[in-house]
């Protein structure tokens, strides 16, 4: 039987799924650097994989432009099929979890400060509950795409909106005004404030801006741990979650005003992943330790409930 050949007489390279995956990321994001960040590879790898796919198909998929890579008409025609291939690959990976054992890796995505200050120490204390499982804790502000397998379990401060995801509210996070004792000893008119740039639209940040009421915001950061250390150093007053600041030996909770914000904490999974024994076990462990700490998470506002 005669082999298929390109016009140049060379035998085409067999089609590789990884090449299609890199094509899809580049088509969706439009730049090598953005696709490389999403895929956690070098930008040269993305270019090499797309070049290889074009050679396999004998089709030019992108025009290389100064402002980025633009899909050709042929690339546009193949994009939807590549997306369906990706959906099937993700479904295949989720189905494989159903036959998996209690051994292996489980990836958990959660907000950064919650991951490092709350989850990590409490999971360490319960390590005997998941002896053959390797956990990957991913602290990130963005929402991991569970459909695409970026994480097995997500902890989020909002009800899941993406179709097909299953969620359960486990607790509520309470907030308060925290600062060093020395800073709180000042007349409140002379307080300075610390803001969170990453959470400008969050309810606790909106409340803090109302409390500041024109008083100086001396520092803005994009990370709660940064605000925590700035408050500990006496730089100003920050709206911090109780789980992060209530037991800090340096910080004090301002007696007034009390923060009315309570944010729900949701555990979210894809229903297919939930059938994995190891994912289900880790979800049960997370559920138990968070529900056991509901009072810690809610903080002093819930003392009378």
Domain ranges of the chain: 17-97, 102-305
* DSSP 3-state of 184: helix
What is the pLDDT, as a whole number, of residue 3?
47
- Give the domain 102-305 fold: D-Maltodextrin-Binding Protein; domain 2 (3.40.190)
What is the pLDDT, as a whole number, of residue 199?
65
Token digits for 115?
A: 């991951």
What is the pLDDT, as a whole number, of residue 65?
84
Token digits for 247?
A: 């037991």
Q: Strands (DSSP E) along the chain, which ranges?
A: 62-65, 68-71, 104-110, 133-139, 153-156, 166-180, 193-196, 217-221, 237-241, 251-253, 262-269
* DSSP 3-state of 57: helix
What is the pLDDT, as a whole number, of residue 11?
57
The full length of the chain comes to: 305
What is the pLDDT, as a whole number, of residue 302?
44
Is the entire prediction scored with pTM above 0.85? Answer: no
Domain 17-97: assigned CATH number: 1.10.10.10
Q: What is the mean pLDDT of each run of 10 residues along the chain (305 residues)?
A: 49 77 89 87 89 90 86 90 83 64 86 95 89 92 86 93 88 96 95 83 89 93 92 96 95 92 94 82 94 92 42
- What are the φ and ψ backbone dihedral angles of 270, each rounded to 5 degrees? -85, 135
**One fold for 17-97 and 102-305:** no
């Amino acid at each position: 039987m005669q082999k298929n050949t390109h016009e140049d007489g060379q035998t085409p390279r067999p089609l590789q799924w990884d090449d299609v995956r890199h094509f899809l990321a580049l088509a969706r994001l439009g730049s090598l650097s953005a696709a490389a960040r999403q895929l956690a590879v070098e930008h040269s790898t993305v270019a090499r994989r797309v070049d290889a796919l074009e050679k396999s198909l004998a089709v030019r998929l992108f025009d290389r432009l100064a402002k980025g890579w633009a899909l050709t008409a042929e690339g546009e025609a193949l994009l939807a099929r590549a997306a369906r291939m990706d959906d099937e690959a993700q479904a295949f990976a989720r189905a494989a979890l159903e036959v998996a054992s209690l051994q292996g890796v489980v990836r958990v995505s959660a907000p950064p400060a919650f991951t490092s200050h709350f989850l990590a120490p409490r999971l360490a204390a319960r390590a005997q509950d998941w002896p053959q499982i390797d956990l990957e804790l991913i602290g990130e502000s963005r929402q991991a795409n569970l459909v695409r397998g970026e994480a097995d379990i997500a902890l989020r401060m909002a009800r899941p909106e993406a179709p097909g995801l299953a969620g359960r509210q486990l607790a509520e996070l309470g907030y308060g005004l925290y600062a060093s004792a020395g800073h709180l000893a000042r007349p409140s008119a002379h307080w300075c404030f610390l803001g969170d740039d990453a959470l400008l639209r969050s309810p606790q940040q909106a409340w803090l801006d109302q409390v500041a009421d024109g008083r100086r915001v001396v520092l803005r950061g994009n990370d709660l741990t940064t605000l925590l250390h700035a408050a500990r150093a006496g730089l100003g007053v920050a709206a911090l979650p109780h789980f992060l600041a209530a037991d800090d030996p340096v910080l004090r909770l301002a007696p007034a005003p009390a923060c009315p914000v309570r944010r729900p904490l949701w555990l979210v999974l894809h229903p297919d992943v939930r059938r994995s024994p190891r994912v289900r076990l880790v979800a049960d462990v997370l559920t138990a330790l968070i529900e056991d700490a509901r009072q810690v998470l809610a903080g002093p506002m819930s003392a009378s409930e």
